[in-house]
Amino acid sequence: MNEHIVKSFDEDLKKLDNIIAEMGGMAEVQLADAIEALIKRDTDLADQVITSDKKIDILEHEMDGQATATLALRQPLADDLRVTITALRTASLIERIGDYAKNIAKRSVVLAQSPPLGPTKSIGRMAALVQGMIKDVLDAYMTRDVEKAAAVRARDADADLLHTSLFREILTYMMEDPRTITSCTHLLFVAKNLERIGDHATNVAENVHYLVTGDLPADEREKSDASSFTLVETE
């Protein structure tokens, strides 16, 4: 094959990686800002997160165009086909992480209108865990590091456990002071959004495994989020 064609094909695939890197970086910032807006009750920052989400959406469209063009013009096989499909999927996962960050920002605006809530501290702790997962899984993607991806996947169980305990904590808080019902409800959804972001980081980790090995991880993923089954009794 003509060397020029080969070179520009590699460049095409590299472009896909670059879009993932850019989207991933943006999603990290969006989540960090949304959590800061929530904790510091900074509605200007929250508004900024809500507006900036469009940039991630635009990049996802760019990925769609780029990946489809690569499939049509290059007709990639085996490894290259896998890179293209995985980039498409990963972009969609990152876009959804961005959506969750935006939703956290929206809810932080409402939360800033009522008195601060005790469980917000635990939200910060859960966010830190999930932010670490995103950072590591993006690194794993860029360096094709299956071990690092597996470690992220393993950490999802911690995120689920933290979410279940946070769910209980917030419910208990509401019961002790029913005036906080509305604001605590928004906090419950923030916690749920973080749990979903952890799931999506885990899905990206599974994509990294597929990207490198051609298979999905063999072991069934442990699901430890019991919040859907959680019953907190009133006294």
Cα–Cα distance between 99 and 25 in angstroms, integer? 14
Query: Least CB distance from residue 221 to its own copies, whole Å?
Result: 12
Query: Least CB distance from residue 128 to its own copies, whole Å?
Result: 23
Residue number, 14 or 179, with CB nearest to its own copies: 179
Q: Report 11-70 residues binding its own copies (CB under 8 A).
A: 61, 68
Which string of DSSP letters, residue by residue, matches 118-180?
TTHHHHHHHHHHHHHHHHHHHHHHHHT-HHHHHHHHHHHHHHHHHHHHHHHHHHHHHHH-GGG
Cα–Cα distance between 80 and 83 in angstroms, integer? 5
Among 175, 217, 221, 224, binds its own copies (CB under 8 A): 175
Q: Contact between 9 and its own copies (CB under 8 A)?
A: no
Q: Contact between 185 and its own copies (CB under 8 A)?
A: yes
Q: How many residues does the chain have?
A: 235
Residue number, 109 or 201, with CB nearest to its own copies: 109
Q: 205, 89 in Cβ contact below 8 A? A: no
Q: Contact between 77 and its own copies (CB under 8 A)?
A: yes
Among 90, 103, 164, 207, binds its own copies (CB under 8 A): 103
Q: Contact between 154 and its own copies (CB under 8 A)?
A: no
Q: Contact between 90 and its own copies (CB under 8 A)?
A: no
Q: 145, 213 in Cβ contact below 8 A? A: no
Burial (CB count within 10 angstroms: exposed 0-12, middle 13-18, buried 19+), residue 162: buried
Cα–Cα distance between 224 and 165 in angstroms, integer? 11
Choose among 99, 127, 107: nearest CA to 41. 107
The residue range among 11-19, 101-109, 121-129, 139-147 that interacts with its own copies, by the rule CB under 8 A, is 101-109
Q: Contact between 232 and its own copies (CB under 8 A)?
A: yes
Binding site for its own copies (CB under 8 A): 61, 68, 71-72, 75, 77-78, 81, 85, 88-89, 92, 103, 106-107, 109-110, 113-114, 171, 174-175, 178-179, 181-182, 185-186, 188-189, 192, 216, 228-234
